[in-house]
Amino acid sequence: MILQENLKLEHLEIKKALEKYTAGEIKIPDVKKVTANYGIYNTRDGKFMTRIRQVGGEFSLSKIKKIVEIMEKNDVSFAHVSTRDSIQLQGVPADNVYDIVRECTENGMPFKGGGGNAYRNPLVSPLSGISKENIFDVRPYALQTDLFMQSFEKAFNLGRKFKISFSSEAEDNGHTAVNDLGFLAKIKDGEKGFLVYAGGGMGRGPAIGKVLFDFLPADECIRVSVALVELFHDHGERSNRSKARLRFLVDKLDFEEFQKLFLEYYNKTIIPKEYKNYIEKNYKDVVNSLNESSNESIQTKGFETWEKAALKESIFQDIFSVRLFIGGGNFSSENLKNLAYVLEKVNCPFVRLTTEQDLYIPLVHKKFLPELYIFLKENLNKQGAANINFQDHTVTCIGASLCGIGLLDSQVIGKSISYKIEELFDKYPEYRGDLYTQIIDGIRISGCSSSCAVNQIAPLGFMGVKKMVDGVVTDCLQVFIGGKIDSETQTLSKTHPDKFVTVEKAPEFVFSLLEAYILQLKNGKTISFEEYMQNYQY
């Protein structure tokens, strides 16, 4: 459990470091040593990014309103939805970082474990406990694991980052197989449990995780997490950063020896009973209070296309989860305020972020959908939340204009590709609604080798590189093909350093590839974009 007084003392160290920095007494590398574990990094605009973490990316209406207030008070440029269930406040002046950290922490959004060589924010399937595909609600297990980890000192003194994920669906939208530790929901003989992966990850030397347990009783998830973090703390590489992730330790020992070592730690780990209090959220209370429309004559042009792309059935009768498509994953404070207004109209008290940089209003009554569509068009039109167009809707990292280690500006590249995709679907409008989410989720663009946009498991991924083209150093994109992660298939995208396209030619490359796919559909072939890319030759 986080001890608030201890955390306050830790945060004072952030304040001291930033004061020394603004006074010119220390440089950015010295600041980073203090701030990185809290998810605070300098950016190329001379300001800072502060990462607000919430387990599984669930943000209540009251917290969204608080973030709006914080942004307005502290001259924050914009909020950015990351691919790991956090909200990054970008363009924060150094003098305002500490105030943001403290105000977030005092309002249920504690700053600890947001970055650095530490245990990170757990990913959770965005519709855990709600979708029809849900095996069981994994959120309580993620929440209790995080609660214990926050007071486990070794978790915040590691050789490299440690990422953890929980998936509630066979689709594995929490990407459990490519996290350091992944829990995929499973039922065996009526008992809740997990298929457990260890040693997965993306970036340099990507790897699919090894199966640590084919079936682990669900209430053992904290014990496994603590044991593996402690093992990594004690045996992980610390001198060579490029070989310091858990997956390299697995390779170094070979999996059989790694498993033996893990079991030594696991067998001596004891978790107090009070942490095994896995309480499921009472969604029925929210469902019973949802607004319903009284205006049945609303005319909604484009509604049917939006309906195809944005809605998912829930386990509750006449209740849907609605995906809001957020261009670039970015919000101004005014946009976030509008989001809060929309939530109030629906009377759903929370949202959940997705790894595609979008978000869900998880519970919306069927009768209210036409009104919600109008509210989204009126209040979040800048994000394209309900427009079902492709412009600005590709998954990218934040890009080199801000990121200190970024090589290319992936957001600019993504924009140019997205406009070309929009041109394609103007040509084939009949496929827009059916293919929209397949395309925007299936194309991922990272500005460097860190794979923050998850390009290494994408059906079609790109990574920013520099190449010699006709004797000139040129901005290029290395191409990744055919990645797939779910409960049955775990495949990294195929790639090779020689398989690249120049940034200039990338939009036309994507246009031609997608047109060839659509023409197969027109000729009667039934195949998803993901399946098409698994057989694509480049």
Q: Which residues pair with 79 in a beta bridge?
A: 89, 331
Start and end residues for every CATH 3.90.480.10 domain found in the chain: 4-105
Domain span(s) for CATH 3.30.70 in the chain: 283-379
pLDDT surpasses 80 at 294: no
Tell me, what amino acid is at 492? L
Q: What stretch(es) of the chain map to CATH 3.30.413.10?
A: 138-275, 395-534
Whole-prediction pTM: 0.97
Residue 174 has φ and ψ, to the nearest 5°, of: -95, 0
CATH number for the 4-105 domain, one of 3.30.43.10, 3.90.480.10, 2.40.160.20, 1.10.150.20? 3.90.480.10
C-alpha span between 409 and 396 (Å, rounded):
9
Q: What is the C-alpha to C-alpha distance for residues 101 and 37, in angstroms, rounded to an integer?
A: 13
- Which CATH class name applies to 395-534? alpha beta
Mean pLDDT computed over 223-235: 99
Domain 283-379, CATH class in plain words: alpha beta
Is it the case that residue 19 has pLDDT exceeding 60?
A: yes
- The closest alpha carbon to 460, from 512, 424, 412, 419, belongs to 512
pLDDT of residue 374: 94
Q: Taking a C-beta distance cutoff of 8 angstroms, is the pair 177, 164 a contact?
A: no
Directed axis angle between helix 410-427 and helix 506-522, to 10°? 30
Distance, CA of 213 to CA of 228 (rounded, Å)? 13
Q: Are strands 395-396 and 443-446 parallel, antiparallel or unpaired?
A: parallel
Question: Could you identify the residue written with the tokens 């924060």?
Answer: 92
Tell me: the pLDDT tens digits for 83-119? 999 999 999 999 999 999 999 999 999 999 999 999 9
Long-range contacts of 359-362, Cβ-Cβ distance < 8 Å, separation of 24 or more = 359/57, 359/81, 359/126, 359/323, 359/324, 359/326, 360/126, 360/127, 360/321, 360/322, 360/323, 360/324, 361/321, 361/322, 361/324, 362/126, 362/127, 362/130, 362/314, 362/321
Topology of domain 138-275 in CATH is Sulfite Reductase Hemoprotein; domain 1 (3.30.413)
pLDDT in tens, 421-463: 999 999 999 999 999 999 999 999 999 999 999 999 999 999 9
Tokens (6 digits) for 155: 């978790």
Number of alpha carbons in the 13 Å side-chain half-sphere of residue 288: 4
